[in-house]
Amino acid sequence: MTKEILELKDVTVRFAGDSGDGMQLTGMQFTNTTALVGNDLSTLPDYPAEIRAPAGTTYGVSGFQLHFSSSDIQTPGDSPDILVAMNPAALKINLKDLKHGATVIVNINSFDSKNLKLAGYANNPLEDGTLQGYNVVSVPLSQLTSAALENIGLSAKEISRSKNFFALGMMYWLYSRPIEPTTNWIRSKFKDNPLIAAGNEKALFAGYYFGENTELFTTRYNVEPAKLPKGIYRNISGNEALAIGFITASVKSGLPLFLGSYPITPASDILHELSRHKNFNVRTFQAEDEIAAISSAIGAAFTGALSITTTSGPGVALKTEAIGLAVMTELPVIIIDVQRGGPSTGLPTKTEQSDLQQAITGRNGEAPVVVIAPSTPADCFAMALEAARIATKYMVPVLYLSDGYIANGSEPWKIPEPDEIPKIDVKFRTEKEGFYPYSRDENLTRPWAIPGTPGLEHRLGGLEKSNITGDVSYDPENHEFMVRLRAQKVKNIENDIPELEVTGDNDAEVLVVGWGGTYGSITEAVSRVRKKGLKVAQAHFRYLNPFPKNTGSVLKRYKKIICPELNMGQLARFLKSEFLIEIESFNKIQGIPFKSSEIENKIERTIGEIDNAVR
């Protein structure tokens, strides 16, 4: 039958099923293919904390959302246009998020009494009116996959595990995606197991041709490539961009890169990625615990390496004493915190902006460090370079605050030309004459002297240092001097970072400020509000300690300042205390990012309150 092809500007797709159904793999393959097509895109992986929750249960559901478009987009979408639900539990968990009238593709073979009971359904939602108002497409995914792979030589379990490729092939047909990138990936991934490769590839094609031939679909869709600036692009996640950024910083500084790390969700992928790049003089050390990890990084910094350690919020808590040691010894250690929901173990696989207070003030004594935060997955690359530049120029620890949403999400990244990336100048002290370990240059930076350099022998440790000589000192006046000096060195960095940029309406009375991964949702919300003719401005912080030099003057220009955060108002509190300006917190602590519509509604209510007060 002839099927209509409908042109769409953008689409939000969500795949959902058991954690063993391969939804993350399916979503990433759809994402990579979409990137090759040339669409702008943004993703939101969502997976359970349990390594393998009982099959069919709601707490074992894994999901992957992708928003792709023919124009510039900022978020993975508020509400999916289409849900592929591999079982009843996936339907139950995700139904509340769908747009009214959305398409729901279900694997009807999984809607048996056992799976319905495991999902907590008293009745079959496909039959009791639960899905009224949705376009429901019931596909016997399991049965069709089994039929396609019959007599191929795979076990029943292996055949069942291939049904995600059937679903992927069907979605490729539905949204006019090419199938070849995934067939090439399958052949490469399973080159040592040709039977598995043949089965997955056959399931992929079976799903594609099912879409072509079935009468369940009367329309297929097309989304034209986005008109992005010219260049070479690749799809990249935040953790990948961060790893590549530090490799680049290593090359541009001429320093070997050292990572001391203890695995923790959602930061472990950085260790995995960097361990693959020994050819770039990268050394990775998987330590026995968080304390050993940062201690090894401090030692590597002492010996002249570009030294980083990766963790999440609980790991930063364990590293706290050692961070204080890095402050006292004034060594350029970079601590990467990929934030997640807390406290304690909290929500290991969910996102949160919960560690800003810990990053800025969470140490004993007066122990200031530089704190920066990327705003998008691709921005993780640029901020890795910036972290390396600041740490080595000022001989100071830098705390790099990513988060689970940025780390696991992905977007197109324009690969920069190597010559476009500035060199990171590093100066090791080599002259014996006049050397003291705590002498200072114009930036209050002490010299970086490699151990073993003749005549430059010196000791470091956690006891207070005497100014200039670096000897242990218990003198009261010296202690106060050194505390103030270390704080002033960090404060002075405000002269070496970009000023806070404001976008939007110059005559707006409302400013929306944010930091980290809220950037996309805020930007999209501000854009929507302005298209309605309302005036609003936006400013996003990538530098959190010190703040950009013009922060106070920017904030004082507005009647109302809204600060959306995935916490209880940590940035808002710092801005209030620093600049004595009222900040209206807008908080969400659910382990999931803001929807643009949530911030959009908040902006409109605030503008309405100002208008009503004027009247």
Q: Which 3 state secondary structure label does DSSP give 382? A: helix
Q: Which 3 state secondary structure label does DSSP give 340? A: coil
Higher pLDDT, 19 or 270: 270
Could you report the per-residue pLDDT of 271-307, keeping only the tens digit for each?
Answer: 999 999 999 999 999 999 999 999 999 999 999 999 9
pLDDT band at 11 (very low <50, low <70, confident <90, very high): very high
| The token pair that represents 200 in the structure block | 């997955």
What does residue 31 show for φ and ψ, rounded to 5 degrees? Answer: -65, -50
Domain locations in the chain as residue ranges: 4-222, 236-416, 502-614
Which helix or strand (DSSP H or E) is residue 91 part of?
helix 88-94
Nearest to 19 by CA among 94, 90, 82: 90
Residue 43 has pLDDT above 90, yes or no: yes
Find the length of the chain: 615
What does residue 259 show for φ and ψ, rounded to 5 degrees? Answer: -120, 120
CA 119 to chain CA mean position, Å? 30
Whole-number Å distance between alpha carbons of 124 and 108 = 11
Q: Which 3 state secondary structure label does DSSP give 318? A: helix
What is the pLDDT at residue 53? Answer: 82
Residue 321 has pLDDT above 90, yes or no: yes
| Contact (CB, 8 A) for 127 and 95 | no
Nearest to 225 by CA among 72, 14, 409, 447: 72
Q: Give the chain's mean pLDDT.
A: 96
Give long-range contacts, CB 8 A cutoff, 24+ apart: 122-130: 125/88, 125/91, 125/92, 125/95, 130/95
Beta bridge partner(s), residue 492: none
| The token pair that represents 561 in the structure block | 């300042």
pLDDT band at 2 (very low <50, low <70, confident <90, very high): confident
Whole-number Å distance between alpha carbons of 187 and 197 = 6
Lowest mean pLDDT among 421-425, 433-437, 445-449, 608-612: 608-612
| The token pair that represents 447 in the structure block | 């010299």
Could you report the per-residue pLDDT of 381-410, keeping only the tens digit for each?
Answer: 999 999 999 999 999 999 999 999 999 999
| Contact (CB, 8 A) for 466 and 438 | yes
What is the rounded average pLDDT of the residues 3-24?
95
What pTM, to 2 d.p., does this model score?
Answer: 0.95
Residue 613 has pLDDT above 90, yes or no: no
Lowest mean pLDDT among 8-22, 40-54, 118-132: 40-54
3-state secondary structure 246-309: HHHHHHHHCCCEEEEECCCCCCHHHHHHHCCCHHHCEEEEECCCHHHHHHHHHHHHHCCCEEEE
Same fold, 4-222 and 236-416: no
Which residues, including other chains, have CB under 8 Å from residue 476's CB and lie 6 or more apart? none
What is the rounded average pLDDT of the residues 568-581?
98
Nearest to 51 by CA among 349, 480, 477, 402: 349
Which helix or strand (DSSP H or E) is residue 103 part of?
strand 103-107
At position 182, the amino acid (one-letter code) is T
Whole-number Å distance between alpha carbons of 432 and 138 = 78
First to last CA, the chain: 62
Which residues, including other chains, have CB under 8 Å from residue 438's CB and lie 6 or more apart? 330, 446, 465, 466, 467, 468, 469, 470
| Contact (CB, 8 A) for 32 and 246 | no
Nearest to 562 by CA among 544, 548, 575: 575
What is the rounded average pLDDT of the residues 178-203?
96
Pick the CATH number of 502-614 from 3.40.50.300, 3.40.50.150, 3.40.47.10, 3.40.50.920: 3.40.50.920
What is the pLDDT at residue 615? Answer: 66
| The token pair that represents 291 in the structure block | 């304390």
What is the rounded average pLDDT of the residues 17-40?
96
Nearest to 581 by CA among 605, 562, 600, 602: 562
Which residues, including other chains, have CB under 8 Å from residue 561's CB and lie 6 or more apart? 510, 511, 512, 513, 555, 575, 581, 582, 583, 584
What is the rounded average pLDDT of the residues 253-271?
97
At position 516, the amino acid (one-letter code) is G
What is the rounded average pLDDT of the residues 545-563?
98
Whole-number Å distance between alpha carbons of 557 and 537 = 11
Whole-number Å distance between alpha carbons of 351 and 518 = 11
Could you report the per-residue pLDDT of 83-105, keeping only the tens digit for each?
Answer: 999 999 999 999 999 999 999 99
Whole-number Å distance between alpha carbons of 528 and 414 = 26
Residue 336 has pLDDT above 70, yes or no: yes
Residue 467 has pLDDT above 70, yes or no: yes
- CATH class of the 236-416 domain in this structure: alpha beta
| The token pair that represents 567 in the structure block | 């916490």
Where are the extended beta strands (E) located within 130-183?
135-139
Whole-number Å distance between alpha carbons of 494 and 390 = 11
What is the pLDDT at residue 1? Answer: 63
Whole-number Å distance between alpha carbons of 423 and 385 = 10
- CATH class of the 4-222 domain in this structure: alpha beta
Looking at the chain, the whole-number percentage of residues with pLDDT higher than 70 is: 100
CB-side neighbour CA atoms (13 Å) of 473? 18
Whole-number Å distance between alpha carbons of 226 and 118 = 42
At position 104, the amino acid (one-letter code) is V
DSSP-derived secondary structure for 188-255: HHTTT-HHHHHHHHHHHHHHHHHHHH-SS--EEEE-PPP-PPSS-EEEEEHHHHHHHHHHHHHHHHTP
| Contact (CB, 8 A) for 16 and 63 | yes
Whole-number Å distance between alpha carbons of 460 and 330 = 9
Whole-number Å distance between alpha carbons of 515 and 523 = 12
DSSP-derived secondary structure for 418-449: GGGSPP----B----TT--TB---TT-PPPB-
Which helix or strand (DSSP H or E) is residue 503 part of?
strand 502-504
Neighbours of 420 (CB within 10 A): 6
